[in-house]
Amino acid sequence: MRRFSSKYYTKKPLKSHCLIKFVIIIIEKLRIPLSHSSLEILLKNKGTIMNYKFISWNIDSLNAALTGTSERAALSLAVVKNLAQAQPDVLAIQETKLPSTGPKKAHLEVLEELFKGYKIVWRSSVEPARKGYSGTMILYKETLPEPVITFPEIDAPEPMDAEGRIITLEFPDFFVTTVYTPNAQEGLTRLDLRGIWDDNYRNYLTSLDAQKPVFACGDFNAAYTEIDLANPRGNHNSAGFTDQEREKFGQLLEAGFTDTFRQLHGQVEKFYEEGRSIYTWFAQRAKTSKLNNSGWRIDYWLVSNRLAQAVKVSEPLDSGERLDHVPILLEFEL
C-alpha cells in the first residue's frame, strides 16, 4: 500500500456537520489558546471523546527483528510482540532497513500475524540513496477513518529525500507524521546538511499545522537541553548535542509545537518516576549504559500547541535488556 505525492500533503475536503465543528476549525486556524476545560467542553459538544494510543519506535532494523537469528534480533522481536499486545491505534517505526521494494513475504507474515486488524504503510530508501538504509513504516488500525497517505519530499540535500525518512497520515481531525532525522555523523561531517534538513522539516511541519493539528513523532536525533542526556559536558561536540542541532530543535518548538514529555513531566532529570528513565536511547557499545541509566532523550512525540492539553500520557516504554532506542508512548483524548 503506497501512494506518492510530490507535494507536502494531499488536500481532502471535509464536510462540517454542525456549528461546533465549524467553531473548532476556526479556533484551530486562528490558533486561539484554550484552557483545558474549554477545550474539553468543545470536544464533548463535538461528539464522543475518543481515547487514542500512539507508539513510536526507532527499531534499528525491522528487517533483523522479523527475520534475524541473533540474540539482539530476538530481543527486538520480543519488543515488537509487546507493542502488538499493547494494541496502539498507530504504531510508527523508524529505521526499518527494509529492501527498496519494501517488506518481503517473510516480513509481512510476521507483521500480519502479530498485528491483526491493522493496515501497513511503508517507505524504503531508494536510489540514489543507499539501499537497505533508513526507512519508515506506520501500522494503523483498520477501524480508524481511512487516512490520506503521503510520502513527503522536503527539498532536503541529496540523497536525504530518497532515504525514506518521512511518512504522513492525514486523518479527519489531525495529521500523524513520523520522521527519522538524519544524523550529523561522527566528526560532524553532515552537520551543515543536517541544518538544512532541520529548516526544511520545520517548514514542512508548519505547513501541516496550518491545515489542522499535528502529532509528529520519531527519532529527531537531538537532545534539546542538558538534562536530556546523562553526560552533557562531554558531548557538546557530539552529533545530536551540538549547539546548532539544539538551536534548530528549539526553533521547531517555537514554530508552534509542544514536547509532550516535558509538558507532562516538567524539567525532571534522569528519572521521571521511581526507576523509570527519561532517556530514549542507550548506546550499544556501552553494555552497561541502560543499567547505569546513561542515555539520551532524542525520540519525541510533538503536538501542535493548541492540542497540548489533550495529551494524557507521554513516556518511554520498557524494552527489557535491549539497548539502543526504546519505544515511546502517547495517549490523548480528542
* Catalytic residue flag (residue 36): no
The angle formed by the CA atoms of residues 268, 271 and 273, to the nearest 5 degrees, is 95
Q: How many CA atoms lie within 13 A of 144 on its CB side?
A: 28
324 appears as a binding residue in the annotation: yes
Query: Active site residue: 118, 140, 180, 300, which one?
Result: 180
| Secondary structure (3-state) at 158 | coil
236 appears as a binding residue in the annotation: no
CB 295 within 8 A of CB 328: no
For residue 50, give the nearest of 142, 129, 122, 143 by alpha carbon: 143
Instruction: Write out the three cell numbers for 297.
Output: 532523550
**Could you give the CA distance from residue 321 to residue 297 in angstroms, rounded to a whole number?**
18
95 appears as a binding residue in the annotation: yes
199 appears as a binding residue in the annotation: no
Residue 180's beta-bridge partner residues? 219
219 appears as a binding residue in the annotation: yes
Instruction: Write out the three cell numbers for 217.
Output: 513523532
* Catalytic residue flag (residue 180): yes
Instruction: Write out the three cell numbers for 249.
Output: 530543535
Handedness of CA 259, 141, 102, 204 (dihedral sign): negative
Query: Active site residue: 161, 198, 219, 299, which one?
Result: 219
Q: What is the C-alpha end-to-end distance of the chain, expressed in Å?
A: 27
* Catalytic residue flag (residue 9): no
231 appears as a binding residue in the annotation: no
Handedness of CA 318, 324, 325, 327 (dihedral sign): negative
Binding-site residues from annotation for Mg(2+):
58, 95, 219, 221, 324-325
The set of catalytic residues is 180, 219, 325
Binding-site residues from annotation:
58, 95, 219, 221, 324-325
